[in-house]
Structure 1
Amino acid sequence: MQTILRKLGLVVLALFGVAALAGAGKPLPQNGQRNWNATVTRTATGSHVLGNPAAKVKLVEYISYTCPHCAHFERESDTQLRLGFIATGKGSIEVRSFVRDGIDMTVALLTHCGAPSRFFANHSAFLRSQDNWIAPATSATDAQKQRWYNGPLPARTRAIASDLHFYDIMEKRGYSRAESNRCLGDTALAAKLAQATQDAADKGWVNGTPGFLLDGVPLAGTYSWAALKPQLEARLD
């Protein structure tokens, strides 16, 4: 469990956004069932929903990309959630960024890069490669930290992306450096993510990550797939 480290010192801008549904207008599979694992909705507050927007059971996950437990949860739960929860149309999962520091913000901006349909693969790519970049992040020099935490947001996020080889991850995902830089400079999105993080902390919804809401109710003491799974199954019965 990762505790809240500190509030971000970002100026919160006016929140705005347009919900977009990936897969709209695509033909249904031959069995007549929509492929809910290919249905992604981007919300006005900058989160993403995978699955049926009208699902009976709605799971919200608060994620910190620098949290080892979040990376572990991704590896353990992803396949089971997609097959037994999302594919049926009975469940959906909404991923919300819980931004603890500049590295978290940098990764969050990159995962949001591109169309909504690309978010979950970006999200998985950073969590599943966390072991490769977390050690350099924790052993940064004073000079690196100066660049990471001083100056305008685009300069800070681009310094982090360069030092931790995030551009390489994005290139493998098909993004050019220019595309990544545009996403790293998205101050409006950064403000949304910071505000959503602050709201969750103020409401007491997140005491550690990963943190969960199930049908709008915070799940106290639930930080792993082993703890979450039976609670999901009980709601689906």
Structure 2
Amino acid sequence: MKGLIRAGAVVGFALMSVGAAPNWLVTVSKTDGGHLLGNPNAKVKLTTFESYTCPHCADFEKEAGAELRISFVQSGKVSLEVRHALRDPVDLTAAMLTECVAPGKFFATHQAIFRNFDQIARTLTTSTKAQQDRWYGQDKAAARRAIASDFGFYPIVASQGLTRAQADQCLNNNALAKRLAEQDRADEEKYNITGTPSFAINGVRLIATYQWSLLKPQLDARL
């Protein structure tokens, strides 16, 4: 059966057969400030705060990706919520595009952007002044479109079903940009986010935990 829509709360996007156990690896829900993969009622609720220009976040996605999902999320005992941490206009541009793909494709897009991190890093380090001037221009929508082009974001979201015209419409949405920026500031204040990636378990931010090898034992201890 199709996932149920709950007013103002969680929207489920999983498809499952009547009577069959839920497939938590394809169950995606929208939360009040992020996207959640897995069982919304999991005993252990992991929240990650990640920046698309953060090399340590890219390392975390590479190291944790399969093991976190298969060993923890798949069982239904752990849920994974991703929330955006915005450090610059590049982060904001990427975050906006992940918000505009179909909700069920959020996590695939999120991971695809991090798999493209080498290009992101290369573009950041080899960019010209003219490029940077476009990224930080007064016309914020035009700046985001320039970023999406220079950093190769358009092909990534196209592979997830978002056309170039739809992507541009997304990046022109100043209200969405404002909402994401406000959410980022609210998360920083609520969780005292000082670096990325940062993690919270059941709403409590973990101290001195910035990589999978330190996070995994803390998940194990709560199961």
Shorter-chain TM-score above 0.5: yes
Aligned letter for 1:23? A
| Distance change in 2, residues 1:197/1:23 (3 Å) | same
**Identical aligned residues as a percent:** 46
Q: What is the aligned partner in structure 1 of residue 3 from structure 2? A: none
Residues 222-233 of structure 1 mapped to structure 2, 5 A cutoff: 222-233=209-220
Cα drift, residue 169 of structure 1 = 2.2
Normalising by structure 2, we get a TM-score of 0.90
Q: What is the aligned partner in structure 1 of residue 75 from structure 2? A: 88
Structure 2 unaligned regions, length at least 5:
1-7
Residues 41-120 of structure 1 mapped to structure 2, 5 A cutoff: 41-45=29-33, 47-120=34-107
Cα drift, residue 152 of structure 1 = 3.0
Cα drift, residue 19 of structure 1 = 4.0
Aligned residues: 216
Cα drift, residue 23 of structure 1 = 1.7
Cα drift, residue 18 of structure 1 = 6.5
Aligned letter for 1:68? P
The CA distance in 1 between the partners of 2:160 and 2:174, in whole Å, is 23
Cα drift, residue 188 of structure 1 = 2.5
- 2:17 paired with 1:27: yes
Classify the secondary structure of the residue corresponding to 1:93. Answer: strand
Shift >6 Å, 4+ stretches: none
The CA distance in 1 between the partners of 2:138 and 2:14, in whole Å, is 39
Classify the secondary structure of the residue corresponding to 2:45. Answer: strand
CA offsets 1:77-132 (integer angstroms, 9 cap, x no match)? 11111111111111101000001100000111112222210000000000011012
The one of 128, 149, 166 equivalent to 1:162 is 149
Normalising by structure 1, we get a TM-score of 0.85
Classify the secondary structure of the residue corresponding to 2:132. Answer: helix
Q: What is the aligned partner in structure 2 of residue 37 from structure 1? A: 25
Higher relative contact order (CA 8 A, sep 6+): 1
